[in-house]
Amino acid sequence: MICECECEKPKYEKKNYALCNNSGTYECGACTCNEGHYGKYCECDGSDASDEEALAKCIRPNSTTACSGRGDCVCGICDCFPRTTSSNETYSGDFCECDDYSCDYYNGKLCGGEERGHCECGLCKCNEGFKNSDCGCATSNDSCIALSTELICNGQGHCDCGTCKCFETTLYRGPTCEECPTCPGKCNETKACVQCSIFQTGQLTVEECGKCQNIVNVKELRDDENLKHCRLVDEDDCIVFYTYEYNNKSELLIEVKEKKSCPTSVNVIAIVVGVIVGIVAVGLALLLIWKLITTIQDHRELAKFENERNKAQWNAGENPIYKPCTTVFKNPQYVGGYN
């Protein structure tokens, strides 16, 4: 019958081993502390306090669990565990009672990111200028000032955490409540982004175009009274139709009709040749018509002449204009007879 493990044999012992803080014997993967020392690695000096007294220092008031169950009590001090086995995030606090990674998130960041605040023992500690449990609320109204009027939310809404909430009783919308159906709008401001994002044309660089957000192409534009309709003429003289609106976060959303309205291509040579051919054809047609009319007129005149010639009656006697060479005169007072 085997009464001891092989590793317990004296030849495997490592007395005053470094892993045991030179205060214990390392055997079978554990430290056996010398007299006057205790702890997992014999790191605690027993002359300071007993093991029970040290453990009591690791228990929170009104609790019975050392280090809140989130760490080891080492020499009366809590050594907190990592939150997960694969994480460098650890619990904190004298009793490991704090979780500095379980605060509220804003825009996908813990306490809105370092620029807004940090997590401390489960609660966000917001930097100056921010508030709320997630540090997501800006206390300044600067981002709500309308450029056109220098009024907060253009006088058509109220500023809530740095964002304008436009009055529902009006038609004003937009980040600063400056947009309305009869307002100039942002058509001119959005043309360049529409061209580069949807059609990869225009004057914006790739870097500048990358800043254009929330632009999509659609087959047909929606018919909605809240939409602002825009149009632009590109370098090919094609017309692009698109609309924009603001969502409940005051973000600009743009929908672009995927099919442009382009003029048909013009073949100048074909037009010129066609005009010339048309002029020649019209000239020839007029010439033929004139020739036909004159021919018909000539035939009519000839027929009329032939008809009149056939109807003419000529006397077969003397020529009416012929005069004989002798003339007879009679004297009425001559009483003699005539032969």
Position 46 pLDDT exceeds 70? no
Question: Which tokens belong to 221?
Answer: 């534009």
pLDDT at 1: 46
Distance from chain centroid for Cα 98: 43
- On whether residue 302 sits in a domain, the answer given is no
Q: Residue 228 is part of a domain; what is its CATH number?
A: 4.10.1240.30
Give the per-residue pLDDT at 92: 84
Residue from 161, 154, 213, 151 nearest 179 by CA: 154
Looking at per-residue pLDDT, the higher value among 76 and 337 belongs to 76
Domain hosting residue 216, numbered range = 187-257
pLDDT at 300: 86
Last residue of a domain, one of 180, 204, 236: 180
Least confidently predicted of 12-26, 30-44, 263-277, 309-323: 309-323
165 belongs to a structural domain: yes
Q: Is 147 domain-assigned?
A: yes
pLDDT of the residue at 314: 55
Q: Does residue 90 lie in a domain region?
A: no
Q: 158 and 206: one domain?
A: no
Q: Which of 196, 224, 257 is the last residue of a domain?
A: 257
**Domain shared by 170 and 195, yes or no:** no
Q: What is the pLDDT of residue 315?
A: 54
Question: Does some domain include residue 192?
Answer: yes
pTM: 0.42
pLDDT of residue 229: 86
Pair (194, 166) in one structural domain: no
Say whether both 235 and 196 belong to one domain. yes
- pLDDT: which is higher, 217 or 329: 217
Q: According to the model, what pLDDT value does residue 181 have?
A: 72
Tell me the backbone φ, ψ of residue 329, rounded to 5 degrees: -115, 140
What CATH number corresponds to the domain at position 37? 2.10.25.10
Q: Tell me the per-residue pLDDT of 152-211, one tens digit each, with 9 for 90 and over.
A: 999 999 999 888 999 988 888 888 888 777 776 778 888 999 999 999 988 899 899 988
| Half-sphere CA count of 43, side-chain side, radius 13 A | 9
**Distance between CA atoms of residues 292 and 234, nearest Å:** 55
Report the 10 Å Cβ neighbour count for 255. Answer: 20
Q: Is residue 232 part of a domain?
A: yes
Residue 330 lies in a domain: no
319 vs 125, more confident: 125
In a domain, 224, yes or no: yes
